[in-house]
Amino acid sequence: MQIKEDFEIKNLTTYKIGGKVRKVYFPETQEEFSALLRELDEYIVLGGCSNVLFSSNGLDGNLIFTTEMKNFEIRGNNVFAACGVKAPLLAQKAAENSLTGMEFLIGLPGTIGGAVYMNAGAHGQAVSDTLVSCCLFDKEAKEVVYKQKSDLSFGYRTSALQGGRYVLLFAEFGLRKGNQDEIKNLMERNLSFRKSIQPSLAYPNAGSVFKNPENDSAGRLLDKAGVKEFDFERVRVWDKHANFIVNKGGAASEDVLELMVKMKNKVKEMFTIDLIPEQIFLGNMSEKEEELCSILYKKNQK
């Protein structure tokens, strides 16, 4: 397993933002990963780093990247995938086997671990629609446990994994047989829809900034509030979709947080709605970042 010390993680994040991390591990097998989870007391687990804003002040601690654990298996209509498998790859493999239910994962630049943790979704489909069970590491008991979907409290962009007790080792999905041409056509439509409104990773970003409020769309509210005009030296709001922030080059985590607060305030002023971030802030915080995060991630918000 590769282990790096004082490792600059900026280039491993889709935002291209982040600082130095004291120790970074890249386990290659489930066995290595579980042994590491048993051994370490404090750590953060990351996959594609596509839903996080990592602090430019780095992290004085341990970080485990799952991206070297890439094995998966298709048995009948069921797909078993290690946490580090790239979500779009699994969608493609499912399509090759004429299995429907994963078409939404095309173009989503994360891993299965991050997708289950976030209960990622798009185009009317979500991870929890087809998830059957998970093999998890229980941090409290320090042992491997199996849970059914019904044990994991899935909701819109939430799951029991967000409680911090469990780390996903691998997941089982139950798909349905479908028509391969129809599956591939749906994936193409999903991908071209994404391309028409979302920034590609050539414009560093971490997907939707805020969650949709109930029965509304964060993008719609932000657009109406006029945030597409926010274009600063190193960060800006994407002009085709108001719920995306793009790093124009050399941005720091503080630049993004400041812009997030401006966006949130605009919507609050116009609609009296408190937008809640979908993106997760990780790492050491500066004093300013603590202040900005206390505005963005208020404890009483769901």
Ligand X SMILES: Cc1cc2nc3c(=O)[nH]c(=O)nc-3n(C[C@H](O)[C@H](O)[C@H](O)COP(=O)(O)OP(=O)(O)OC[C@H]3O[C@@H](n4cnc5c(N)ncnc54)[C@H](O)[C@@H]3O)c2cc1C
Give the catalytic positions in this structure: 157, 208, 278
Q: Which of 81, 63, 84 is nearest to 9 (CA)?
A: 63
The secondary element (H helix, E strand) that includes residue 44 is: strand 44-46
Nearer to ligand X, 139 or 268 (CB): 139
Phi, then psi, of 195 in degrees rounded to 5: -60, -30
> Smallest distance, Å, CB 270 to ligand X?
25
Of the candidates 18, 19, 27, 110, which one interacts with ligand X according to CB under 6 A? 110
- Rule CB under 6 A: choose which of 37, 99, 120, 296 binds ligand X: 120
Residues 129-168: x where in contact with ligand X by CB under 6 A, - otherwise, as a string: --------------------------------x-----xx
Give the residues across from 34 on adjacent strands. none
253 near ligand X, judged by CB under 6 A: no
Residue closer to ligand X by CB (options 196, 272) is 196
Rg (CA), the chain: 19
Rounded to 10 deg, the angle between the 180-197 and 87-96 helix axes is 150
φ and ψ at residue 221, rounded to 5 degrees: -65, -45
Binding of residue 121 to ligand X (CB under 6 A): yes
DSSP string, 162-196: GGSSEEEEEEEEE-EE--HHHHHHHHHHHHHHHHH
- Least distance from ligand X to the Cβ atom of residue 247, Å: 11
Q: Which amino acid is at 182?
A: E
Instruction: Identify the residue among 9, 79, 83, 99 touching ligand X (CB under 6 A).
Output: 83
3, β-bridge pairs: 25
Smallest distance from ligand X to CB 83, Å = 4
Check residue 88 for interaction with ligand X (CB under 6 A).
Answer: no
Distance, CA of 275 to chain centre? 18
Overall residue count recorded for the chain in this entry: 302
Binds ligand X by CB under 6 A, chosen from 7, 12, 14, 237? 14
- Beta carbon of residue 14, minimum distance to ligand X (angstroms, whole number): 4
**243 scored as a contact of ligand X (CB under 6 A):** no
CB of 119 to ligand X, least distance (A): 8
- Shortest Å, Cβ 223 to ligand X: 17
Number of CB atoms found within 10 A of residue 32's CB: 15
| 125 is a contact residue toward ligand X (CB under 6 A) | no
Query: Which of 117, 154, 173, 238 contacts ligand X by CB under 6 A?
Result: 117
Four-point Cα dihedral 293, 155, 173, 39, nearest 10: 40
In 3D, which of 107, 38, 100, 25 has the Cα closest to residue 68?
25
Task: Scan residues 192-211 and list those touching ligand X (CB under 6 A).
Answer: 198, 205-207
Token code pair at residue 284: 């050491």
Q: Is 139 helix (H, G, I), strand (E, B) or coil?
A: coil
Binding mask 22-51 for ligand X (x = CB under 6 A): ----------------------xxxxxxxx
Q: Is 64 in the site for ligand X (CB under 6 A)?
A: no
For residue 7, list its beta bridge partners: 21
Interacting residue with ligand X among 66, 130, 159, 212 (CB under 6 A): 66
List of residues contacting ligand X (CB under 6 A):
14, 44-52, 66, 83, 108-111, 113-115, 117-118, 120-122, 161, 167-168, 198, 205-207, 280
